[in-house]
Amino acid sequence: MTEFLAFTITGIVTGAVYAVAASGLVVTYTTSGIFNFAHGAMGMLMAFLYWQLRVHLHWPAPLALIAVLFVLAPLFGAVIERILMRNVRGSDTGVALMVTLGLLLFLIGLALTWWKQTEPRALPEFFAGHSVRIFSVNVTWHELISIAMAGVVAVVLRLLLFRTRTGIAMRAVVDDRDLTALNGGRPSRVSAMSWALGTMLAALAGILLAPKLGMSVFNLTFLVITAYAAAIVGQLKSLPLTFAGALALGLGEAYAVGYLPTSGFLSHVKPSLPMIFLFAVLLFLPQVRLRIGRVVGGRSVRVPSWREVGVAGVALVVASWIIAASLGSADLASMGQGLAFGIIMLSLVLLAGYGGQTSLCQMTFVGIGAVVAAKISHGGSPIGVIAAAGAAGAVGAVISLPALRLTGLYLALSTLAFAVLADNLFFLQVFGGGGGLAFHRFSIVGISFNGDVAYTVLLAVVFMLMAAFVLAIRRGPFGRLLSAMKDSPAACATLGLDLTRTKVAVFALSAAMAGVGGAFFGGLRGSVSSNDFIYVQSLVVLLLVTIGGIMTVLGAFLGGLFLGPGFYVLGKIVHLDALTFLGAGLGAMTIARSPNGVVGQISGVVDRFRRRPAQPEQGITGVEVIEEVERVVAPVG
């Protein structure tokens, strides 16, 4: 009984912290309409700032708390709203998603740069060493404070949102911003207050978690992400349901730690429980209404002709051959990595660019393809590549089934949950305690591409073949169906088009392409491990192809260049350990101003130069119009 009570108290404490974090997320969403994927990273950053003041600079705990919770956190939230989120307002859900994901990676990179993870850090609990005994169980004062804070937050938020003019204004802004302004409200100020309050709650959750988890950038960031499940229970609207979901999640985690086996498959379920909970909640959500088309500021990029594709393909292969032959081993490896990631990003061009389906688990499909190819002839034969495509495509089709009911934000969350589950339940089983799988370089009909130069040229050939395949889909009826589904699912359903089959097909096809990329990625690396496919890598890949231009194959090529040679060259100039996170995050935060990416910007400039300005003598004056009308109407009269 004592053991059960101890786990129950632990679960209540964990649930209380989840409730604080999830309530901040709900406040931000209900008052701005933007789901802040960077919520956990903002809490992590504030926890490190609290450590900096409390431990490093030896400030008293109350003074450090006041400085972080009531000065730094709200100021940081208001600045983020002013600089980033105002540009996102009114944009497509995917744009808001990319911007907040970019902010997530940027803050992780910032924390890794300022606070090196090789240096040990510890944050003391509140009133460390003090505890009370409740039914034969010792409960620390820090745990009691965590529970009390959750209660205070619940009461204060309820009173604020429903009993004060400020709270009513917060809820009114997201319903109708213009109408709020017409009634004397100040929407910009209200939005800034909402983000300030949400950041305060994220900071409080991070400070409460840090003594238990340790000062780890990734643990503090992504454990708060588990609070997303609690927020989804309340459908990002209801605070009582959010708190109930957080409590259920905390108790479930505590009981799993206490009663599930410590070895075997079930032992891996423990860290996956929040994502299982999130996935289950998403499955039971009411089916979303089909979205009608609306203008979001995007523009279509011209699809190149087959002649242009052929010329560009030959030029790329020849240029790759010439450049690869002149590079050293390290430079050649970065070039090959860029081409390999370009192949992977082509799968996102098809899925997200053409079909409008968000995936935060693309590197999971890459990992599945790599594992299958490694198990079959170590990836060195065409059979291994075909098997990789088939296995990844089958998993993609299965994953698409729950996603049929979901769109936008909920679809992104479901694919994120799947990626985390795959990390904990599949890749850890395959790779064990961090081991790797060996790969052989590709060979066919006696022709081996074992050399670095030869394999780099092969990657260029594969990229162009995959790019031609994607463009062929774009030109065909399936590509037109994908574009129509992306623009207006409601119109497609009205016309009797089968959206279910279309979604399953595009998910399976995109996953199969990612699986092929995994097979060639493994051959480039020589061996792969579970760290190559963790879900954070999926975020990086998605952001970089979006920066390049997710609607075009050229955008995938540029995204691969950014992730491969781009960061490699930049790393020689700027010596930062977290350069990939900083670069990807900083670039993604500009998407609000250029949703079409680099390729879209270049295409717009080229189009402006191509247009010939209208000559004055070609115009028609108002007098000429009137005379023409009189000429036509006169005979009738």
Q: What are phi and psi of 436, to 5 degrees?
A: -125, 170
Instruction: Kindly report the CATH number that applies to the domain delimited by 306-603.
Output: 1.10.3470
| Ranges in the chain, pLDDT < 70 | 1, 89-93, 169-188, 224-225, 262-268, 270, 285-301, 379, 403, 433-435, 575, 577, 592-593, 595, 604-637
Burial of 180 (0-12, 13-18, 19+ CB in 10 A): buried
DSSP character for 589?
T
Cβ-contact 334, 521 below 8 angstroms: no
Full-model pTM = 0.85
Which residue ranges make up each domain of the chain? 2-284, 306-603, 608-632
Say what the pLDDT of residue 1 is: 63
For the residues of 153-220, what is the DSSP string, one character each? HHHHHHHHHHHSHHHHHHHHHHH-HHHHHHTT--HHHHHHHHHHHHHHHHHHHHHHHHHHH-S-HHHH
Residue 107's closest CA among 34, 25, 45? 45
Give the pLDDT score at 328. 85
Please report the sign of the dihedral spanned by the C-alpha atoms of residue 357, residue 358, residue 364, residue 367.
positive
What pLDDT does residue 497 have?
Answer: 75
Length reported for the chain: 637
Q: What is the pLDDT of residue 66?
A: 94
Q: With beta carbons less than 8 A apart as the criterion, state whether 190 and 13 touch.
A: no
Q: How much is the pLDDT for 172?
A: 65
